[in-house]
Amino acid sequence: MHGLINKAVQTFLRDNYGAALWRHVVQEAGLDPNGFEAMMHYDDDVTERVLQAAMGALDKPRVVLLEDIGAYLARVEPLRRLLRFGGADYWEFLASLDELPGRTRMALPDLEVPRLSVNAANGGRFTFEVEGPLPGVSAVMAGLLRAMADDYGALALIEPSETADGRELVQVALLETDYAEGRSFDLAMPGAVEAHHA
């Protein structure tokens, strides 16, 4: 797993639940005390151990934890901005999600992100099939898409689900594109982007 993803999980846990919880996870998962480096690669099972340790310590079901992580990601400012480049409004953003791996590759050729394909788009209803590096990736995407709906000021119902044969889905019912004000997105980067530190 790319260090950026592990680092994001680390930052999520530390920002939301404090350094003590993170130290506990480090110990439980047998990590380097310094945590993750964003520009390195780690074995996939390291990420899984972190998730298991966090689920245990926080007493949260996997889906809830992963949704929270997804929502957190969309609020990390450099990432939020990069996601907003997907489209001028939430509908366009949803329609551009199948470009996510391509966009990511432009920035970081070695970063694998979830692959979303629109299975059905009917008016304001989208069904995405999500393929990703860890089980429950649809929950991460559901959390992220919910946070982005807020960011755009759109009103949408978003739920992770799965098909009978276990493929992961995210279902989006877009009720209103211009429901609320939304957060501003100025194309011009406000100053230089600071590195996101834990």
Partner 1 sequence: MPDSGSLPPQPLIAMSAGALGQLMPMALWLDPRGTIRGVGPTLARILGGRAVIGTPFDVHFRLGRARARAQETGHFSNGRRLHLWLRANPGVSLRGSAVELGYRGEEGVLVNLTFGIQLAEAVRGFGLTEADFSPCDLAMELLYLQEAKAAVLGELRALNMRLEDARRSALDQALTDPLTGLANRRAFDLELSRTLSGLEGRRPSFALVHVDLDHFKAVNDSLGHAAGDIVLEYVARVLREEARRGDVVARVGGDEFILLVREVSDPEFVLAMGRRMISRLEQPCFYAGEPCRISGSIGIALSVDYVEPDGAQMLADADAALYVSKREGRGRCTLAKPGQADSSG
Does the footprint of partner 1 cover residue 39 (CB under 8 A)? yes
Dihedrals φ, ψ of 108, to 5°?
A: -140, 100
How many residues touch partner 1 under the rule CB under 8 A: the total is: 25
CB of 55 to partner 1, least distance (A): 27
Q: What's the CA gap between 37 and 6, in Å, rounded?
A: 8
Give me the helix-helix angle, 62-73 and 3-29, nearest 10°. Answer: 140
Does the footprint of partner 1 cover residue 88 (CB under 8 A)? yes
Mark the segment that binds partner 1 (CB under 8 A) among 35-43, 57-65, 159-167, 171-179: 35-43
Q: What's the CA gap between 153 and 176, in Å, rounded?
A: 9
Per-residue x/- track, 44-83, partner 1 (CB under 8 A)? ----------------------------------xx-xx-
In this complex, which beta carbon is closest to partner 1, that of residue 55 or of residue 82? 82
Does the footprint of partner 1 cover residue 41 (CB under 8 A)? no
In this complex, which beta carbon is closest to partner 1, that of residue 48 or of residue 89? 89
Q: What's the CA gap between 161 and 138, in Å, rounded?
A: 7
Does the footprint of partner 1 cover residue 196 (CB under 8 A)? yes
In this complex, which beta carbon is closest to partner 1, that of residue 52 or of residue 153? 153
Q: What's the CA gap between 46 and 44, in Å, rounded?
A: 5
Q: Extract the tokens encoding 168.
A: 């992961």
Query: Out of 59, 165, 181, 194, which residue is the one contacting partner 1 (CB under 8 A)?
Result: 194
Does the footprint of partner 1 cover residue 187 (CB under 8 A)? yes
Under DSSP, the state recorded for 193 is: P
In this complex, which beta carbon is closest to partner 1, that of residue 20 or of residue 193? 193
Q: Extract the tokens encoding 120.
A: 């059905």
Q: What's the CA gap between 86 and 97, in Å, rounded?
A: 7
Do 84 and 46 form a contact (C-beta atoms < 8 A)?
no
In this complex, which beta carbon is closest to partner 1, that of residue 87 or of residue 153? 87
Q: Is 24 left (phi over 0), alpha (psi -120 to 50) or beta?
A: alpha
Task: Give the footprint of partner 1 on this chain (CB under 8 A).
Answer: 4, 37-39, 78-79, 81-82, 85, 87-88, 103, 106-108, 186-189, 192-197
